[in-house]
Each structure stands twice: as structure tokens, then as C-alpha cells.
Structure 1
Amino acid sequence: MNINKLLAQEIANKVMQVIPYNVNIMDDIGRIIGSGDPERIDNYHQGATLAIEQGSIVSIYHTEGGAKPGVNIPIHFRNKIIGVIGISGDPQVVSPFAELVRVTAELLINQEFLFRERRIKEQMKEEFLYQWVFRNERYDEAFVNNGEVFGIDLTMERKAVVVKSNVNKNIPLYEQEFIFRLNPNLTLFIVPCQSEIVKRIEKSLENVEFKIGIGNPYTHVAASVHEAKRAIEMAEKLGMNQIHCDYKNLKFIDYLTNKDNSLTEMNNFYQELEENPKGRELLETLISYITNSGDMNAISKELHIHRNSLAYRLQKIEMLTNKNPKKFTDLFELFTCYVLYKMKSA
């Protein structure tokens, strides 16, 4: 820790508010870097040089060369002399102030050091957070360890929530929740899966126009960030008026426009149905529902089942896929995914 000129002058000013004598602050080579007498700045102080060499208080009783009468006290930081504080005047008069002045100076220096250390740590944490949010590579051991240093559990599944709004309001955050300003109109939240951040956002932005994009949960948060931003983009391009743009409800549309995306969940769903007798019943029901354009009587007759049984099967499909066959967009997705699955299987 070195004493810079700004800090040295601040110490001199604060000490001189307490004692009625001129104060000089010297660096670790005896050069004056702070003083109640501006003309002495950058001059070397003989008494300070002696105090550094001897490691103790040096009193000067008579004017000798450039040295004036006064007391010079070494300033310590972590058992090392980093400078000297000099009080001008008769040593017998100013000496009683020596310990008070030294303690005041060292407290100010220690306070400055802690502030600087905290600021550096905050900057390092901010840099790490941005690396984390946009990191496409896997998390290696070193990266995970860096996360632990900043109290971030990188093994936890999290979701990204992006808010599009030009209003800058403070949203309360809880443990393991983080916020980033992507641009003036776009704010990113990285939160645990069970977080109710969306409710807090809505409460904070009442009577304000905004959209919320929500990504799926991952341990690799960059994927969720991409999805949350993409959800808002798709909803706006399609003219959807909804406030909540949840990627899981828009993933199929993203697939149609970007074949690099996979529909693994749906593929697994259809594969599981085909491998299970009860599952084949549901698959048969879905195909019949499509070919008969949702006519419940015609479907029941074709499958030789009661309408109640048919309704139960449709509910079962919705429960397993989170897609309602009676809703056109969901039915379109179910059928298209089935076609893609069969073509891929073939």
C-alpha cells in the first residue's frame, strides 16, 4: 500500500482540523506529497528521511538547511513504514499530539485500503459474472473454483429472465440472484429455478409497459440467456401482445425458423409412447383426433371407446406434453413433431 498525493493531502487536511499546526505528509522516500503549505509539495524532508532510516520518531529543534523544527512520525501499514507524518513547531509543544496524529493517519490509510480492496473485489466479481453469463464453453474446474470465491454455486440450475423496459427501478434480489444491465432497455436476471423474480418484477413495474423473456433452467446459464432474449424477439416479430414470453412455449416456433435447435423432449415422448402398449393407445388417439379434425363422436366411433375415455386420453396427452390437443397451435406442434420423429426414425 502506497500513499498517493490525493490521500496524503486528505490526511493533512483532516489532521489540521484537529491541531493548530502545519502538517506534512511524506512518502516512503521522504518526499512531501501532502501539506498545509502547498509550496513544500515535492520537496524532500530531512526529518522524514531520518525517521524512515531509524524507524522511530525524529524531533528537530532547530532550523537546519531545509528542515524546520517539528516532530516526524513513521506511518506503518502491516508492519511496514510507508511514509512519515510531520508536525511543524516546537517539539516540546507538538510532541503530545504525535500519537493522536499517527493513529488518525493510519486509520485513514487503512480505511482507504479497505475501500480500494473492496472496490477491486467488486470489479473482479462483476467481470466474472459477465464471463459466466456469456460463456459458451463448459465450466472447467478453475472456472467453478472462481465462482466459489465469489460465493456463486455454478452447479445450481438457474434460469435467465430478461426484462425489456426503459424504466430503471430497483428490483429486490435474494441470495444467489444476480442482475445485469445489457443495454438501457434490457435488463437480465439470473436466478435459481424456483425464484419468484417475475412476481417481484411485475410488482415493481406496475403501470409501466414491459415484456419479460424467460429461458429454460440450465446449469450452463448462457443457454438460458439466449433463450430468454430469443423469446422476446420471437414474440415481438409475431405480434404477440403477451407480457410473459416463456421460451418453452415458443421453442417449437424457434425450431421452425432455426433447424439447429432440437426437439429432443418431443422425440423422447413419442419414442416412449411407441415402446409402451398404453402409450400406443395415446398415440393412436392423437392421430385419430387429427385425422377426424377433433370430431369427438367420429373419434370415439373409430377407436371404439366412450367419449369419457377419449376425454381422459386427451387430458393424459396434455399432462405428459404440456400441450393441449384442443388448442390449434399446440395440436399443430404435436402433429409436426410426430411427423419429424417418424421421418427421423424411418
Structure 2
Amino acid sequence: MKINKVLAQKIADKVMSVIPYKVNIMDENGLIIGSGDKKRVDTIHKGAVSAIEQRTMVTIYKPEGSSKPGVNIPIHFQNQTIGVIGISGDPRIVAPFAELVRVTAELLIDQEFLFKERRIKEQMMEEFLYHWVFRNNEYDTAFFNSAESIGVNLKLVRKAVILKGKLRKQPSLFAQEFTFKLNQESQLFIVPDTSDIVHRLEPLISQDSKVGIGDRHKIMAKSFQEAKRAIEISESLKFAQIICDYPQLKFIDYLTNKNVAFDEIIPFYAQLDENQKGQELLETLLCFIENSGDMNAISYKLHIHRNSLAYRLQRIEILTNKNPKKFIDLFQLFTGYVLYKMKHTSS
């Protein structure tokens, strides 16, 4: 740690605000870098040189060249002499202030050091988070080590949450939750997949905001791109909802982007084909589609009671997280069925 001119002048001004004497701050070579007398800056203080060499307070009773009467006491940081603080005046009067002034100077230096350390860590975190969300390939040992050095656990499954809009205030963040500004209008939150960050954000955002939520992934860049895409889809289609959950919008992304795999529902149909109960659910779904959701007509064709039909539709919703009575969900169920049958037939 070195004392720069800005910090030195800050210390000199601070000390002179509480004692009625001129104060000089010298660096580790005895050069005056902060002073109550600006004309003395950038000159060598012989008393300070002696104090550095002797590592103890040096008292000057008579003027010696540029040195004036007063006391000069070394400033220490982490057991090293990094400078000297001098108080001009009658040594018998100013000497009692010396230790108090030294302690004040060292506290200010410690404070400056901690501020710089914190800022360096913040910059390291910001740089790491930026690289993290744009890194599409697998994490190597060096990347894991970088994460560990700043307290990021890369082994956690996470999701990205993007807020596009203004926050009334920043939400509280818990362990392993991180955030940084993407640009003037967007802020990214990187959180464990079990985090309730969206719940914490909702009361803090305006009605014209959008919150994009990516799916859970080990590679953060994938979730980040999904969160961005969720907002893009919602804005393009002018959806009113503020919360844009990519897993719920992925089907729309599939329709417009053939690079997106739509495989969430296909395994569902493969499982149905394996047993009689499953085939009953499949038959019910297809009958529901063919009869445009007419419950009476469906019950008649399947020879089951309406309560049984309602139970089967409920089972389909539980298994797929898609409600057949909702048009978009039904569209996804039907498209998944078509894709499954096409793949199954071709194989």
C-alpha cells in the first residue's frame, strides 16, 4: 500500500480540521505529498527521512533547511513504514498530538485500502459474471478455480432472470445470488433454480416492465439466452403479462426457430404407448381434439361418465403441465403428438 497525493492531502486536511497546526504528509522516501502549506509539496523533508531510517518519532527543535520545528512520526501499514506525518510547531506543544494524529492517519489509510480491495473484488465479480453468461462451452478447471476465488459455486443448477425496466429499489440477494446491469434498461439476476427472486422483484417493478425467466441449466449462457428470448417473444406478440417464463413460451419459439428442440411432451406419448392406462389417456386426448372439447360428445363416444373424463383430462395436465382446456396448451399437446407419431413411424 502506497500513499498517493490525493489520499495524503485528504489526511492532512482531515487532521488540520481538528488541530490548529500545519500538517505534512510524506511518502516512504520523505517527499512531501500532502501539506497545509501547498508550497512545500514535492520537496524533501529531512526530518521525515530520519524518522523513516530510525523507525521512530523524530523531533526538530530548530529549523534545518526546509525542515521546520515540529515532530515527525512514521506511518505504518501491515508492519511496514509507508510514510511519515509531520506536525509543525513547538515540539513541547505538538508532541502530545503526535500519536493521536498517527492513529487517525493509519485509520484513514486502512479505510482507503479496504475501499480499494472491495472495488477490486466488485470488478472481478462483474468481469466473471459477464464471461459466465456468454460462455457456451463446458466449464474447465481454470474457470472453476476463477469462480471459487470469488465465491461462486458453479456446481449449482441455476437460472437466469432478466428484468427489463426500472426497479424502485434493489431486492435483497441471498447466498449464491448475483446481479449486474446488462445495459441502461436491463438487469440480470443469476440465481439457484430454487430461488424466489421473481417473487421478490414483483413488488419493486413498474407495470410496463418485463421479467424474462430462463429454464434451469448447468451452463448459464443457455438460461441467459432463454430469458432474453422470453422477453422478445412476449414483446413481439404484445402479451400483457409481466412475467415471461421461457418454458411456457418455448413452443412459440419452436414454431419460429427450427434450431429449438421441442421435446418436452414427446416422451409423454412414448410412455402412454407402453401401457393400457396410458393408451386410455391418449385416446381421451385425441377424442377431445376431434370433438373440439365438447364434454358431452366426448363422454358419449368414449362411453365414460363426465367425471371420469374430467379425471383423465386432469391426469394429462398433471403429467404434461399442459391444460387441454386451454387453447395454446392443447395446440402444444397436439403438435407434440404429431411429432411423436412422425418420428415413431419413420423409425
Fold shared by both chains (TM-score > 0.5):
yes
Greater Cα shift, 213-222 or 299-308: 299-308
Q: Distance in 2 between matches of 1:115 and 1:308?
A: 67
Q: Distance in 1 between matches of 2:94 and 2:202?
A: 63
Alignment of 1:310-329 (within 5 A): 310-329=309-328
Which AA in structure 2 matches 1:331? Answer: L
> Residues 11-62 of structure 1, C-alpha deviation per residue, up to 9 Å, x if partnerless?
1122223333222111111111011111111011112122222222222333
Alignment of 1:258-337 (within 5 A): 258-337=257-336
Q: Distance in 2 between matches of 1:303 and 1:163?
A: 48
Q: Contact between 1:3 and 1:27, CA under 8 Å: does it hold in 2?
A: yes
For 1:155, what is the secondary structure of its paired residue?
A: coil
Q: Contact between 1:12 and 1:24, CA under 8 Å: does it hold in 2?
A: yes
Q: Distance in 2 between matches of 1:305 and 1:98?
A: 96
Q: Distance in 2 between matches of 1:148 and 1:130?
A: 16
2:86 alignment counterpart? 86
Q: Contact between 1:23 and 1:35, CA under 8 Å: does it hold in 2?
A: yes
2:203 alignment counterpart? 203
1:187 alignment counterpart? 187
For 1:83, what is the secondary structure of its paired residue?
A: strand
2:26 alignment counterpart? 26
Greater Cα shift, 265-274 or 183-192: 183-192
2:42 alignment counterpart? 42
Which AA in structure 1 matches 2:7? Answer: L
Q: Distance in 2 between matches of 1:308 and 1:64?
A: 106
TM-score (ref. length: structure 2):
0.89
TM-score (ref. length: structure 1):
0.90
1:2 alignment counterpart? 2
Which AA in structure 2 matches 1:139? Answer: Y
5+ residue gaps in structure 1?
Answer: none
For 2:260, what is the secondary structure of its paired residue?
A: coil
Q: Contact between 2:211 and 2:244, CA under 8 Å: does it hold in 1?
A: yes
Q: Contact between 1:51 and 1:57, CA under 8 Å: does it hold in 2?
A: yes
Q: Distance in 2 between matches of 1:203 and 1:70?
A: 61
Alignment of 1:85-234 (within 5 A): 85-165=85-165, 167-176=166-175, 177-205=177-205, 208-234=207-233
Q: Contact between 1:51 and 1:84, CA under 8 Å: does it hold in 2?
A: yes
Q: Distance in 2 between matches of 1:60 and 1:307?
A: 104
Q: Distance in 2 between matches of 1:262 and 1:317?
A: 22
Q: Contact between 2:29 and 2:49, CA under 8 Å: does it hold in 1?
A: yes
Q: Contact between 2:23 and 2:88, CA under 8 Å: does it hold in 1?
A: yes
Which AA in structure 2 matches 1:63? Answer: P
Q: Contact between 2:167 and 2:205, CA under 8 Å: does it hold in 1?
A: no
Number of residue pairs matched by the alignment: 344
Q: Distance in 2 between matches of 1:327 and 1:90?
A: 90
Which AA in structure 1 matches 2:251? Answer: F
Check 1:202–1:67 CA distance in 2 against 1; reply closer, same or farther (3 A cut). Answer: closer
Q: Contact between 1:171 and 1:200, CA under 8 Å: does it hold in 2?
A: no
Q: Distance in 2 between matches of 1:83 and 1:148?
A: 36
Q: Contact between 2:70 and 2:90, CA under 8 Å: does it hold in 1?
A: yes
Q: Give the superposed CA RMSD.
A: 2.3
Q: Distance in 2 between matches of 1:259 and 1:7?
A: 59
Q: Distance in 2 between matches of 1:286 and 1:184?
A: 47
Alignment of 1:242-253 (within 5 A): 242-253=241-252
> Residues 81-128 of structure 1, C-alpha deviation per residue, up to 9 Å, x if partnerless?
111112223333332322222222222212211222122222222222
For 2:221, what is the secondary structure of its paired residue?
A: helix
Check 1:328–1:97 CA distance in 2 against 1; reply closer, same or farther (3 A cut). Answer: closer
5+ residue gaps in structure 2?
Answer: none
> Residues 206-258 of structure 1, C-alpha deviation per residue, up to 9 Å, x if partnerless?
6x422222222233332222222211211221232223222122111101111
